[in-house]
Structure 1
Amino acid sequence: MSGDDSRPLHIRRDGFGPAEDLRSAGPLTKITIGEGAGAETSWLAANHAVVRQVLGDHQRFSNRRRWHDQDEVGGKGIFRPRELVGNLMDYDLPEHPRMRQKLLPGFTLRRIRRLRPYIEQIVEERLDALEDEGSPADLIEVVADEVPGAVLCELIGVPRDDRATFTQLCHRHLDPSLSQRKRAAAGEAFSRYLLTMIARQRKEPGEGLIGAVVAEHGDAATDEELRGFCVQVMLAGDDNISGMIGLGVLALLRHPEQIAAFQGEDQAADRAVDEMIRYLTVPYAPTPRTAMQDVTIAGQTIKEGETVTCSLPMANRDPALLPDPDRLDVTRDPVPHVAFGHGVHHCLGAALARLELRVVYSALWQRFPKLRLADPEGETAYRLTTPAYGLTSLMVEW
């Protein structure tokens, strides 16, 4: 079991799925998040129907948190920490659609498709590095932790000479092994770099996300909003995709009969990626929702001001969503899973994530058709202290 009973219930995992004590929770139950003076009580939504209802109800549930005593329930007011300016997950209607509209030029299907050659290039470079490392090698260190940051830098428009430093700052900002002071310092340096780059691209818009937003919206997108957009893209995309690459490879190595889906047509690979995203669901939960009024769901009354934490892994393992949900079956037809969220806050980068994973899984087995675990009986090193579930290492040989 990879969980830890001292951890909040909604982030406990067992192998690829939710931990048993999370599975035994009802559709809607009270949990405690945090310890001591910082502990908070929240409702936990733990089935597909309830999660979709909460995430889709933008009239009665708010994404905003209260950051100041003068804020109203749901965080309505002028008090928003600087680090959340531009973070779409902290905006409600009608602000959210206006903010999301500003980002859309960076996520058009044409722009995502244009990234495919670069994604293929960076994946091939990392597979070259894996081969150079020699068998056995750590797939997490060489591939899973390197590909997402490089792709996101290309998306945002970070100059290639700056990318190693830029991704290092991002990783340090997320690294739970570092002190809060060191993580904060990395975050400040990360923000300073972004603001410098934004100023430069206002004069000469580039081909990336910042350039596209500046070209389309000009000063209507403020520097702080652009900075926040980019921070959100990096923090969400890097950890989630790294987790999916590592866990996905491990899942396929343990279910070798499923690998063929990535050795044929794109349509089969697309279906397989969607099933793996559902089956693994590396994000634990989106931003907690705050009830704007008393709401009755699943026979429980959620009082105004109370929060609901939505377990995405539990929702995606709900038998009401699909038969035999604990079985990985890459030939399944796609189901309306919630790994990318639901409603107006559905992940803007979902298409990019799917493309990136399809390229990684397909290229890996094309290059290493005999890929296998270096120590099949060894203990799996699950990653338990980062924002998204994953692996700390995965030793493979070929």
Structure 2
Amino acid sequence: MNPLREKPFRRFFLGQSISVTGGAATQIALCFAVLQITGSARDLSLVVSAQMIPTIALLLIGGGIGDRIGQALLLRVTHFGLGVTQGAMALCLLTKQPFGYLIALAFATGVLSAFAGPSLSGIVPQLVGPAGLQKANSLLASVRNAAMVLGPTLGGVLVSTIGGGWALVADSASFFVAGAMFCFVPVGDRPVLSDRKLFTELRQGWTYFRSSSWIWSMTAAFTVSGFLQMGAGQVLGLVLAKQTFGAEGWGVIISCRGAGQLIMSVLMIRVRVRRPLLVGQAVITLQAMPYLLLGLNAGVAAVAAASFVAGFGVTFASVAWDTSLHTYVPNAMMSRVVSYDQFGRSLAVPAGQLSIIPIADAFGTRHVMVATGVLFAVTMVAPLLLSSVRRVGTGDLDEAPDPAVAVPV
């Protein structure tokens, strides 16, 4: 089954592709635009924090609202809203408005992103049949991986050619186009939950989440891995690169990892396994190798090769995880469950970045990097100790409560 032959998914795929690419370009464009206008790293930190804090704080509520009113409707509202906020940011930069306006708009962008994130994933099983879910998630992963590689480059080119303000104008247009595409994604029939308060539905989502050991254990593992990757894998990796093979070598390593991820996302359109989480958690341990090699002072060629292979494992595990959620979690609960996964990963970003340098100062940079590799591998295989994780994909998985009765009403 080719999901792109399904008109609803094809429209969503186009909209999400535009949204993800625009969002990836925005980050670098906004950062350079702020530095062009103010020249202050402190101001840049304020803008980034103003956007990140509400995104993390409101993700769980965003998941609840997505399940309550429907993901398609929420995606339309949030993407048109993001088009407005990015356009307003562009206006502030081009007309040199007070810097406080930019912070307020960054905050609004973070709020809208929190509401959009869970729905971008939660809507997929409503658009594709069970047989096409892995292919659909592989296609979506291909776009995300391509945007991860090309988005920052596109943002940098826009900033250097037309300026940061006009780059944000282009990004604003991309969100409006994505929102227009989502308007053609049909809204499926949804159960009427208007008699329940939002807090009750959020509590119901929490009950379902904590009662599903395969979900909470995998979510915890990905949260820890995100902490390690954002801390040691990025911040500490840059420190070691500066001490050894320099920025050029580090760029080669990052590019090789991105290439591995992109290639695997394409291969996953064809590859199928019976126990996706079992295999996925085994192959994602390959990501430990670049950390170990960096800590052991290996050359750039060895680290780059390991990063390329690790990219295969990371993407395989990611597609397997998304497909498992979309297969086994009821549609009525989907955005709330997805929001817990996204909340853990989002929280891991600042936690890892802020804590890794003090840890490295205390124990030594290379020792911490080697320990990161070991801890990453252990964390990734730990969920496999649970039989519920190993059984995913076998058709023998029945441990979560019925979402309709998870919380008394």
Structure-2-length-normalised TM-score: 0.31
The structure whose residues are more often helix, as a share, is: 2
